[in-house]
């Protein structure tokens, strides 16, 4: 038989309330512990996703020599424009890179390099940024901080240095031959690793 309300003493109520308080506290502690673990798990998951995103993202540097230049006439400056063949190569460069998500374009301050970059710049609505005349460590460091797809137009005696410095090792042995205009050097950076690829574009040269 259960005791009636009149038969329950004050001490019984105190004990019952104490048991209820302990039970509630235990439940609260378990809930807080569970939420604490879930919060830590969530933070670990977010950290893992961030690390995965950082390592899976990549960007590329496209490094090219200016296209063929015109012959220097008797009354022309040494800063000659592109020849007709060179203009065609500049268009070929635009066709090759227009879908590569190029974010920025860099060129030395010569007519032949700027004109090589111009068709792609106009297609993408980009401004050709000037560097140089030779790539130094400050310029390379600037490129590395960008972490974007970038086109760099240089010269036969500079694009090897750019490719090597961006790669962190020698990937191009030396200056290009005077007749070489069809090389496109690609340095792809993924995480802390850089890979190098040599491609050809436009009409092949000797």
Q: 3-state secondary structure string, 12-51?
A: HHHHHHHHHHHHHHHHHHHHHHHHHHHHHHHHHHHHHHHH
Could you tell me if residue 206 is inside a domain? Answer: no
Structural domain span for residue 41: 8-54
Query: What letter does residue 3 receive in the DSSP assignment?
Result: P
Residues in the chain: 206
Could you tell me if residue 2 is inside a domain? Answer: no
Packing angle, helices 84-97 and 111-124, rounded to 10: 40
Same domain, 39 and 64: no
Query: Cα 89 vs. chain centroid, distance in angstroms?
Result: 26
Same domain, 98 and 195: yes
Same domain, 116 and 143: yes
Tell me the average pLDDT across 103-131: 98
Output 43 or 14, whichever has higher pLDDT.
Answer: 43
Same domain, 47 and 110: no
Low-confidence winner among 75-79, 94-98, 107-111, 157-161 (lowest mean pLDDT): 75-79
Domain count, the chain: 2
Distances (CA, A) of 116 to 75, 152, 171: 23, 10, 24
Tell me the average pLDDT across 58-78: 92
76, 185 in Cβ contact below 8 A?
A: no
Is pLDDT at 64 greater than 90 in this prediction? yes
Tell me the average pLDDT across 169-182: 97
Same domain, 43 and 65: no
Confidence band, pLDDT 50/70/90 cuts, at residue 113: very high
Same domain, 47 and 148: no
Task: Return d(Cα 5, Cα 7) in angstroms, integer.
Answer: 5
Same domain, 107 and 143: yes
Tell me the average pLDDT across 36-44: 75
Same domain, 84 and 147: yes
In this structure, what CATH number is given to the domain that contains residue 148? 3.40.50.1240
Residue 73: count other Cβ atoms within 10 Å of its Cβ: 8
Low-confidence winner among 50-59, 89-98, 192-201 (lowest mean pLDDT): 50-59
Same domain, 23 and 119: no
User: pLDDT tens-digit profile of 8-36?
Assistant: 566 665 656 666 666 666 676 766 667 66
Same domain, 50 and 100: no
| Residues 6+ positions from 160 with CB-CB distance below 8 Å | 172, 173, 174, 175, 176
Could you tell me if residue 3 is inside a domain? Answer: no
Could you tell me if residue 1 is inside a domain? Answer: no
User: pLDDT tens-digit profile of 125-163?
Assistant: 999 999 999 999 999 999 999 999 999 999 999 999 999
Could you tell me if residue 170 is inside a domain? Answer: yes
């Amino acid at each position: 038989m259960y005791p009636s309300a009149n038969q329950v003493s004050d001490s019984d109520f105190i004990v019952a309330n104490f048991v209820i308080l302990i039970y509630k506290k235990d439940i609260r502690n378990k809930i807080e512990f569970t939420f604490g673990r879930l919060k830590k798990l969530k933070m670990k998951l977010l950290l893992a996703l961030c690390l995965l995103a950082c390592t899976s993202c990549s960007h590329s540097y496209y490094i090219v020599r200016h296209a063929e230049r015109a012959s220097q006439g008797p009354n022309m400056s040494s800063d000659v424009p592109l020849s007709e063949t060179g203009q065609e190569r500049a268009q070929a460069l635009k066709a090759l890179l227009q879908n590569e998500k190029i974010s920025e374009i860099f060129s030395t301050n010569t007519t032949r390099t700027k004109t090589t970059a111009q068709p792609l710049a106009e297609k993408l609505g980009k401004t050709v940024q000037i560097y140089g005349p030779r790539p130094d460590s400050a310029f390379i460091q600037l490129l590395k901080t960008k972490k974007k797809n970038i086109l760099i137009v240089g010269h036969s005696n500079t694009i090897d240095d750019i490719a090597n410095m961006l790669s962190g090792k020698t990937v191009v042995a030396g200056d290009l031959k005077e007749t070489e205009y069809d090389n496109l050097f690609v340095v792809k950076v993924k995480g802390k690793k850089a890979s190098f690829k040599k491609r050809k574009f436009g009409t092949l040269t000797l």
